[in-house]
Structures are given as C-alpha cells and as structure tokens.
Homo-oligomer: A and B are copies of this chain.
Amino acid sequence: MEEWDEIEVPRNVKDIFVEMKNTAELMVDLAYSSLLFNEEEMAEEVLELEEYLDLLNYHLMVHAVLAARSPREAEQITSILHMAHAIDDMSNAAADLAKMVLEGVQLHPVITEAILGSEEIIGKIYVSADSILVGRTLEELDLATNTGVWIVAVRRGKRWIFNPDGDFKIFPGDVLIGRGTDTSINYLKEIARGNIKVMGDGRA
C-alpha cells in the first residue's frame, strides 16, 4: 500500500463508513490467512490496513462531527461513531492475530485446525492452465455467487495481490486465497484444476 498522503479517502460519511467496514472484514480474512499459511507479507498488509482504517476513522469523525446541527442529529451521529468504534475494535483484533505471525510466535497446531475446521474456512486454490477461470476477470466470474468463495488475495509468482478488484484477470499458475465453506472451496478447486468446465448455472 502507498504512503498515506497519496491515499484517497472517500469524501462522504457513507463511503468512508462502507470502506471501513470492508477494510475490517478484509483484515479479519487476511489475518486468519496469514496465521494459516504463516505468511509474513500478508500479516504486514493487515497492519498497513489497520493504519488505513485509523485514517478513515479520523476522517469519519471529522465529517460526522461537522454534520451535527441539532440534538437529534447529534444522537444519530453518535450512533455512527459508536459503530465505527466497534469496527475499529474488530480490526484491532485482526491486527493482534497478524502480529502473532510477525513476532514469530510458535503457533499451536490447533490454530490451523480451528481455521480449517470452522464453518467458513480459508483455502488455497491453484489455477491450472486448462481451467475455465484463466483469462477471465473476477467480475465476469463472480466467484462469490457462483461458487460461494470470496477471494481475499492472489499470489502471482513472487507477488501478492491483496483484495483484488473486479478487473483482476486470472492467469494460469495464480494461487487464489479464498474464504468459504469446505464444499465451496473444494468446488472451486475442481474448477481451478480444470476438472469442472461449467460453473454455477451457466450464467458465468
């Protein structure tokens, strides 16, 4: 992520708020992923996102406080700050998880087992050259709807792409890090291996 003074922060309370919520959720996914795969770079991204979230929170507060014009509005605006605080708490918890990776703490095997044994798990999906995923964008594929897997990061060669956007085009050899149920992850793995050639109901 770039330096903060180059970062564009959304310009209204709603957009800042949405960005905060999305960022915190991404942080949680990346934090569990970094623990599961013992990936320092991913853990570092979580800490950078934490700083970004603090910046968003600051902008939110400035905007929110400026917006209050009556006691009723002030109470409503307090509810925004309250929710922002809760989101910030969640992001701090995610950062605490990521710090375990960076501090090189000896992780108990139960940590991996718990991440892989939950209702929603994190999976690593290798894309083979003859997969229908290759050459298509995440927006076209809409994996969240068609397979139930939410892509949080992609490893391409030595490089990580975190939170890839809709324009991101999948290459052969990409490694997708996804969150979903066990069944969803296995389904996407079969598609990524080239064993399943049609996805969803054929809409994709």
Contact = CB atoms under 8 A, between A and B. Distances in A.
Interface residues on A, range: 35 or more
A92 B90 CA distance: 9
Nearest to A80: B108
Contacts of A117: 14, 18
A43 to B, nearest CB: 13
A200 B198 CA distance: 10
Given A79-B100, A146-B148, 12 more contacts: A21-B114, A21-B118, A25-B118, A25-B119, A77-B108, A79-B111, A80-B108, A82-B100, A90-B93, A120-B150, A199-B201, A200-B201
Interface string A70-102: 001001111110110111011011101100100
B97 A86 contact: yes
